[in-house]
Structures are given as C-alpha cells and as structure tokens.
C-alpha cells in the first residue's frame, strides 16, 4: 500500500492497527497447541517402541535361523547320530570329530572334541535371546539301511524385550544326512 492509501484506511478503521490478541484467544491457541504436541509425542513414542520390538524379533528370528542352519549343515555330513534326552544331539561330523549340540542355561552350545569324553563347549546363540525348547527327533531307518537318517530339530525362542515377556518364535527343520546309517 502506498502511504496515501494507508492514511485513508486508518481514517476509515482507526482501531485496525492497534488491535492485538486477547488473553482468552492466546490461552485457547496455546491449549490447542499443547494438546496437538502431546498427541503427536505420544504417537511418536509408541512408534519408536514398536520399531524396537520388531527389530528385536527380527534379530531373534535371524539368530535362531542361523543356529539351525549351522546345526543342519553339520548334520548333513555327519554320522552315528544319538539323542540324549530331548535336548542333546551327539554325532560324528564329516572329519570324525565328536560333536554335541545341547541346550544349557537357555542357550545352545556346541561341543567338539576327539571323543565324547573330552568335549569343549562354546555358546552359539546370542545373549539377547533365550531358547526355551530344543527338541531333537531321529527318524529310524528301515531294516536294510537304504535311506539316510532324518533328524527333526525344533526351537522355541523367547525374546528379551523391555516390557513384553511372552513373545516366542517357534522354528522347526528336518535334515537328512547324506551318510547312510545312524
């Protein structure tokens, strides 16, 4: 606006440039702003917690799958399989080394040694997951040993997460050994 037009506008509406916000208007605007920010913050925090939970579940699933794959790889080339209880598998790997996979203290350990009496154990699962069940089942061969032994392994994995304690992942696989006879 030119200065001349502004003078005419001020003459027609003298209180326009002097007018401001009242206390009530400011309080209403601030209240709406605070409510909006509160809702937005709550939603953002909930999204972050869900994202952390999903990440924990993915890590647990990945670690359990990796553990099963490691066991399966050795079983495929192993021989002389024996299950002790429900939580321990003993066999000879492809190099003739005595190998044991077992559940101990909610984690899976691998033991290897020259024979089954001299075994050194090493934990193969991550610290952030807990193995609740480690079940092994060997399908017996027929009378003539024409088929390779089949071993079914099942894992029940629990995730350690802040407030959620009852999340479990169940994974099962069946592996056929390439060597004839148990």
For 81-114, write each residue's pLDDT tens digit: 888 888 899 999 888 899 999 999 989 999 998 8
Higher-confidence position of 66 and 129: 66
Range of the domain at 50: 29-78+127-176
In a domain, 146, yes or no: yes
Q: Where are the alpha helices (DSSP H) in the chain?
A: 3-12, 23-76
In a domain, 9, yes or no: no
- Which phi and psi (to 5°) does residue 58 adopt? -65, -40
In a domain, 10, yes or no: no
What pTM value is reported for the model? 0.71
In a domain, 168, yes or no: yes
Q: How many domains does the chain have?
A: 1
Task: For residue 181, give Cα distances in angstroms to 144, 146, 164.
Answer: 9, 8, 45
Tell me how many degrees the CA angle 157-162-165 measures, rounded to the nearest 5: 40
In a domain, 22, yes or no: no
In a domain, 108, yes or no: no
pLDDT, tens digit, 9 for 90 and up, residues 35-61: 999 999 999 999 998 898 888 888 888
Instruction: Please check whether residue 128 is in contact with residue 56, taking contact to mean a CB–CB distance below 8 angstroms.
Output: yes
In a domain, 61, yes or no: yes
**Arithmetic mean of pLDDT, 130-136:** 90
d(CA 135, CA 68): 12
pLDDT, tens digit, 9 for 90 and up, residues 147-172: 778 899 999 988 776 666 678 888 99
pLDDT at position 141, please? 59
In a domain, 115, yes or no: no
């Amino acid at each position: 606006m030119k200065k001349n037009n502004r003078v005419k506008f001020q003459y027609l509406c003298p209180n326009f440039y002097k007018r401001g916000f009242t206390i009530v208007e400011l309080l209403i605007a601030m209240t709406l702003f605070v409510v909006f920010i509160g809702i937005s913050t709550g939603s953002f925090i909930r999204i972050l917690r869900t994202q952390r939970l999903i990440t924990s579940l993915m890590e647990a699933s990945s670690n359990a799958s990796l553990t099963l794959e490691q066991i399966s790889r050795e079983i495929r080339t192993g021989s002389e399989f024996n299950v002790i209880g429900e939580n321990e598998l003993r066999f000879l790997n492809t190099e003739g080394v005595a190998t044991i996979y077992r559940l101990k203290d909610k984690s899976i350990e691998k033991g290897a040694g020259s024979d089954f009496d001299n075994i050194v154990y090493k934990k193969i699962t991550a610290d952030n997951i807990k193995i609740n069940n480690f079940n092994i089942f060997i399908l017996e061969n027929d009378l003539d040993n024409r088929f390779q032994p089949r071993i079914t392994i099942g894992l029940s994995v629990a995730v350690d997460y802040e407030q959620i304690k009852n999340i479990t992942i169940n994974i099962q696989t069946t592996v056929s050994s390439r060597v004839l006879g148990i």
